[in-house]
Structure 1
Amino acid sequence: MSSLKEVGGYKLGNIIIEGKTKKVYDLPEVPGHCLLLNKDRITAGDGVKAHDMEGKAAISNQTNAKVFEILKATGIKTAFVKIASPTAFISKKCEMVPIEWVTRRLATGSFLKRNPGVPEGFRFTPPKQETFFKDDANHDPQWSEEQIIAAKFKINGLLIEQDEVDYMRKVTILVFEILEKAWALRDCALIDMKIEFGVDSDGNILLADVIDSDSWRLWPSGDKRLMVDKQVYRNLANVTAADLDTVKRNFAWVKDQLDHLKPNIHHKVVVFMGSPADQEHCQKIAKAGRELGLDVDLRITSAHKATEETLHIMQQYEDTHGALVFIAVAGRSNGLGPVLSGNTSYPVINCPPPSDKLVQDIWSSLSVPSGLGCATVIYPDSAALMAAQIIGLQDYLVWARLRVKQLDMATALRAADKKLRNLSV
């Protein structure tokens, strides 16, 4: 039993595992969960190089929490639950997949040693993804996907096969791209990063472990000389107290910058309906949009019966929002979409409500006067998706929710196909 009895009001059970920079405790009173306690310790070279660093545990804990909150906001499935104390957080209990998943945007570090002839700074488009088997004694050798599949890992009852490897690879790249877009808001280039996955008791693959300044290379203004990650520590031949203070200040700076990674565009999707009778249709658009992270307003106005008021409402939104999409819900003789489109430079989407004359209503929305650029879709979720694609050009969280939705749909199809393949005939 651990000598430490309680952290953050949580009674601790046995130590599940202890690593170089953290301890993982069972939580007997919170079934299916564990507590990860960070250490004031920094290491490199599989632990060969190691130093105490007072305050690092708290910095790492806050950094990790802020990163996972960003990822959870996009819909990425994670094990992270919440902070428990200044140096600890609560996680869903997982059995870990013994693979480090590394994504690279630029060639640097160990990649150059393993791939002589590739110049430093070579840009990978799409990002380069690599996998390494967790084995400190052999310095975490690089593995191919074929080696992972051939190993036949069974993690919490889940056999890691091609489908599971494909899913983890896609999530790995997506996580990198989300955080790359986030850091770009602070003019910081995310060069590469590593993550790990676990499998919970229900067989779900979750992004797990820790993501902090030990996990990535981060170069402000894309300048390697300004690096603020653990590479600064790795590069030190002789480590002094002043050196450790510099590393700690870098880590604290990264932690503080994470507070500023929210999208800086104030967006709005405005659904105009020509009649109160169309509210049910418009509520479906709003619901689908909000699930994608859109800020949606519903308004009732008529381009035919209240043209001046319609344009006044539109202009109010134009004056207060940086990213804006209008959705026009009108049926026969649709003038709402074309009137909006003819008087704004923002995108307009027609989405006529269901009726017994839907064919005519669609034609009315499609047949707009020359010089106008309304798009037309039929289904409410299609209107929401199209609006999200437009807003996502400027808001990385909306963009990420779209990507996660696409990944989830593809994963569900793969799972259904696998279930069908495994049926006994």
Structure 2
Amino acid sequence: MNVTEIFTTAPAAPETRKTPGLPFSERLAEALRNDALDEFYDESPYAACIIPLLKELGWHNYARELLEALPHFSEQLELVDLRNILVSVGYESRPKRVAMDDIQPELYPCLFVTDTDDVFVLLKREGDTISRFNAQLQKYESVSPDKTRGTAYVFTDTHPSHGMVASNSGDAWFYRLLHRFKHLVIHLLAMTCLINLVALTVPLFIMVIYDKVIGARSIETLPYIITGVGVLLLADLVLRHLRAQLLGSIAGRIDYLIGTETFRQLIFLPPVFTERSTVAAQLSRLKQFDSVRDFFTGPNAAMTLEIPFAILFISVIAILAGWLAIIPVAVILAYIAFGTFWLPYTSSKVMQSGIAKTNKQRMLMQSMDGRKEIKAIGGESVWWERFRETSGDAVMANYKTFVASSVLNSVSQSLMTLAGAATIGFGTLMVINGDMTIGALIATMALVWR
């Protein structure tokens, strides 16, 4: 590869450019404050790429915006940190496996990491010449494109002034935030698919034990079957543990990003939007985002991931039991019909409960702030009566929410019980008629209950 160096040697790093003991964020902040970005030096190749990449992307050197995006007290900047910084200042990135010669000119500038972990900022391409920043040597150079393979991180400017349509919805930033985790969601779906395949084999092993081991009295094969079941259960346990770790990581990351972003949105709001609401009302709205974290840390996330694979279980039931697969399909349709009718009612009760709880918290905070005024006007009895009514409304709203949720759970349990009873009843008739084996019936029951 022909290389023409624009700077023949990497600029020396004087002592003033890298203060000993200071983390990376502090050193970059010092360079921003002193307007010395051209002299900034860091040993990490990803840290060295920040300023050249931002300048080529058209960043306008808003020091405060960049300082807020930096990881605090970080000694070494990694690729994940660099991408997070760029997302925070308005540049989303997506990886693309490609050879350097195959990168289209319209994708420049981009970050290119070779398979040997060399890091470059590809600035522009003119004919057979690529201008780039060499992060290892920390110098600009011109090279001829070659077939060096690696990962190109292509950037998209998300600022409204760069062709992106600004959404009028206040939740647009929230959905853009969740979009950053789409690749992890794909990994979660792949892990859930493996978990369901492992779980699917356990009922099949049970069928083999009943039909082949017990029926044929073949004790010799039993240890091998039990060993296989043990290995599969161990694999299931490991996969579930890994999925729980990944869900916890996503929950923690989303909780951090949502917390900082909502606070940023709140700080930059005009005062007129916050002065009209009480502190309790604003805190209640902020706490609503905790439900996102609770979704990933609770059982709902795992249940949601497993819903698409219900088709797999129904297909296996159809293979084992024929038309008995209609029973779980009917139960699913009954779930959908009842949910369409009952979930809006439950949601309205949950909303009313939240409003009542907010009103109670607001009155408590007003009471604590205005105790002197209440005593001065002799309004203790009136205020106590108002609080009693507010507390009663909150308790009644919680009661109605509990009843609505209990009805939903009761109907769900009843449908499951009905599905099991129908399966065992019709399955027994099929076994008597010789259309199904005992092992297949037990395996079908296990799949239906799952």
TM-score between both structures, scaled by the size of structure 2: 0.25
Q: Which structure has greater helix proportion?
A: 2
> Relative contact order (C-alpha < 8 Å, sep 6+): which is higher?
2
